[in-house]
Structure 1
């Protein structure tokens, strides 16, 4: 099959990828023999420079991706269009990005489906936004909220870059808002199928989240620390309008495979964040009471966070003072 016979991905798919020959304005990813990677936009007449020499962009434009090119001083590079998972870990950052392993878990476990209406807070650098827009497809909608203007601007540029959005336009299925989710959801009267909370204190938004989600919808929180995890889970439980929260993390380890030398790799993507999901109940409904009781002391005197409705605070333990003149003096 010749290059002319390869059909491109329809623009209406909003996929952010192309088939066929590389074209001016697209981004490419060059990988050298040591695995070092370089991403840049193809511009006719420009040159890419590295310590291995230079490569003219015109040498790349018009060729099918997946080829090897040799720089002016002999260095070899493999040329492909960047995958989404490769793009997000190398794109400019304002805030920390949601890593591909977590974005994949969010899309799968929060059940982001084509045509879904998804709300995201905050937008960070736009990494998760790209995955959400891919998942909802051309008939869905992603509404993002970000408090900090500088982060929002970085995210906008990254999303536009990945999807190839023309200058002066934005992705037609994406709305980026500056503001606080807790205030903006009720003000804009937004209703949605899924709500993703990637923020410092997601428990502050539970009431607004419950009002915005359709019955059966899902909330998914992305939190970094165990204290955030505990506070969010217990706030969801205490609210009563959701199913029992499910919390987990994912760890990714690569493997070295060469003949009989098969062993775990030396590098591992360990803890990045905890994920928590829960489903919205119908109005006025409560989930059945758990039959398994909490561990002794789980909600003891030392616990000061939110409590489930059926878990009253324990009576304070009275301090016993020694009698005057006793042997304890």
Structure 2
């Protein structure tokens, strides 16, 4: 996949390309020109700039379904994923979290009781060409048999999940929308390291015009970071 940029009068326009000719309001860009040239031109002689899409570009094109975690939460969770580790997560949804942590982990096992979610997630994993994620149709509240370094739970009642197959010292991360869920999770026998809430605000910068954008990504959920001892 490639990204093509066109510097239009009202700002830069961004186009995703996978295969075939690219049809845009600025003309048709031939497939061979996109493949062989970083500055391809359309049939109307409009010049584009192109570059290879990275993971963040590609996930913008995955199929949507259940609500997904935002990048601010995904990025923080990914800090706790060790290279070549085994990770279990529950609440597969679209597969976005599994796909993100699979960039670092050796193997990811993702549990969900909803078959339609798992089918959607598999399509997204195939689109992203990720092969180290195994999707499992099972209620994780009943337990899981995969030994894991890290357990990530996007569930209404994560405190009901058995933690016996998390290694000693392993990390358990709970994604909880409400503070009452956080309070309930604190009743477990885990060592709770911290509870955080991430906020993200983008800035507008153009010449000497500098200001925060009026909209920001506020509360999505609390992240509770715990260790099994």
Superposition TM-score, scaled by structure 1 size:
0.62
Change (3 A) 1:238 1:157: same
Match of 2:170 in 1: 217
Match of 1:176 among 135, 157, 171: 135
Contact 1:88–1:97 (Cα < 8 Å) also in 2: no
Give the 3-state SS of the residue equivalent to 2:149 in structure 1. strand
Structure with greater strand share of residues? 2
Q: What is the CA distance between 1:59 and its match in structure 2?
A: 1.2
Task: Give per-residue Cα distances to partners, 1:209-235, cap 9 Å, x unaligned.
Answer: x21211111111123x32xx422x333
1:147 aligns with 2:124: no
Change (3 A) 1:31 1:150: farther
Distance 1:245 1:236 in 2: 12
1:230 aligns with 2:180: yes
1:204 aligns with 2:165: no
1:115 aligns with 2:84: yes
Contact 2:110–2:133 (Cα < 8 Å) also in 1: yes
Match of 1:194 among 150, 157, 170: 150
Paired residues, number = 226
Structure with bigger gyration radius: 1
Superposition TM-score, scaled by structure 2 size:
0.87
Change (3 A) 1:175 1:193: same
1:265 aligns with 2:224: no
1:62 aligns with 2:36: yes
Change (3 A) 1:96 1:72: farther
Q: What is the CA distance between 1:265 and its match in structure 2?
A: 2.7
Distance 1:201 1:271 in 2: 19
Match of 2:63 in 1: 92
Bigger relative CO (Cα 8 Å, ≥ 6 apart): 2
Change (3 A) 1:247 1:82: same
Matches within 5 A, 1:45-84: 46-63=20-37, 67-73=38-44, 75-84=46-55
Gaps of 5+ in 1: 1-26, 166-170, 282-329
Q: What is the CA distance between 1:159 and its match in structure 2?
A: 1.7
Contact 2:173–2:224 (Cα < 8 Å) also in 1: yes
Give the 3-state SS of the residue equivalent to 1:235 in structure 2. helix
1:106 aligns with 2:77: yes
Distance 1:76 1:202 in 2: 52
Distance 1:73 1:182 in 2: 59
Change (3 A) 1:103 1:217: same
Distance 1:51 1:266 in 2: 30
Change (3 A) 1:249 1:142: same
Contact 1:89–1:97 (Cα < 8 Å) also in 2: no
